[in-house]
Amino acid sequence: MNQPYIGYRGAVKPEWIDVNGHMNATHFGLVIYEAHAAHSEWLGFNEEYVERARCGKAVLESHMRYEREAGLGDQLEVRCWLLAVDNKRLHFFHELYNCSRQCRSATSEQVDIHIDLQARRSADMPESLQRFLRKQVRENLAQPLPLNIGSQLRPPRNTWLDGE
């Protein structure tokens, strides 16, 4: 694959618009989650795998950035990258791109962990799955990568405390 996996394509729906007249942040998250689920299934974390292996994965850490608004009817797509993998963890990056406005509206970066659903604990992925995922990482890293991978929160400083 010489381009990112496209996990979602669709238009902003009327029920997603909030009192500010743009797509509500909740729906940014839901659209990206839908894309992440589709990407995960494509990577092999599907219902058949869960039933056969009695394993799945769960989110350990997630970071969402909102960059530009999306309006009613705007056409959106979510581009998905798997950027790193070890025996238990997977690092994903998702870009919500507004095709109508030709800009990135949001990003979501997360680390998932493979879990044994019977023991309810983290567990190594099967070697065959690890090999496949490493191949996907190599292909993704060979592509032009989006900006802000690995970014951190930038909270405001309480400069007003200095005057007290």
List pLDDT tens digits, range 1-24: 578 999 999 999 999 999 999 999
Q: How far apart are CA 152 and CA 82, in angstroms?
A: 19
118 in a structural domain: yes
40 in a structural domain: yes
Backbone angles phi, psi at 103, to 5 degrees: -150, 160
pLDDT band of residue 164 (cuts 50, 70, 90) is low
Q: Which of 104-113, 129-138, 149-158 has the lowest mean pLDDT?
A: 149-158
The parent domain of residue 120 ranges over: 5-142
Total domains present in the chain: 1
Residues in Cβ contact with 63 at an 8 Å cutoff, skipping those fewer than 6 apart? 108, 109, 110, 151, 152, 153
87 in a structural domain: yes
* Residues listed for the chain: 164
Task: Write the CATH number for 101.
Answer: 3.10.129.10
59 in a structural domain: yes
34 in a structural domain: yes
Q: pLDDT, tens digit, for every residue of 96-126? A: 999 999 999 999 999 999 999 999 999 999 9
pLDDT band of residue 160 (cuts 50, 70, 90) is confident
161 in a structural domain: no
92 in a structural domain: yes
∠ CA 143-83-46, rounded to 5°: 110
- Global pTM value: 0.92
150 in a structural domain: no
Of 76, 49, 52, the closest CA to residue 133 belongs to 49
